[in-house]
Amino acid sequence: MSDYWFNQAKLNDLLRIEGPKGTFFLRNKERSIIMLATGTGIAPIMSILHKLDQDKNYQQHQQISPFWGNRFADNFVWQPKFKNITVNFEKVVSKPDSN
């Protein structure tokens, strides 16, 4: 879609867009949690992690490990910080720079 938006889209183009289907929620808080996301797909994971962090009844007994992929390191716009949960956050890049 990025190529279309940046290189092909014209004023008054007719677009038919259908939103995402399904649900996204944490099913079991008692097991280790592995989360996978790329790009803006991190949004629902952010929401779940923030909710867990604010939930006074949640007691973490297992690991929480989100993996967030982007093309370049500077695409990571969110710096997660939590007060009440421990998160093993992994950033993954598909086109690393020379460093």
Q: Which domains does the chain have, with CATH numbers?
A: 26-99 (3.40.50.80)
Tell me, what's the pLDDT at 99? 67
| pTM for the full predicted model | 0.73
Q: Which long-range contacts (CB under 8 A, 24 or more apart) does 92-98 make?
A: 92/67, 92/68, 93/69, 94/69, 94/70, 95/71, 96/72, 97/72, 97/73
Tell me, what's the pLDDT at 27? 84
Per-residue confidence band for 13, with pLDDT thresholds at 50, 70 and 90: very high
Contact 39/75 with Cβ under 8 angstroms? yes
The string of pLDDT tens digits covering residues 17-76 is 887 787 888 888 888 999 999 998 999 999 999 999 999 999 999 999 999 999 999 999
Tell me, what's the pLDDT at 76? 93
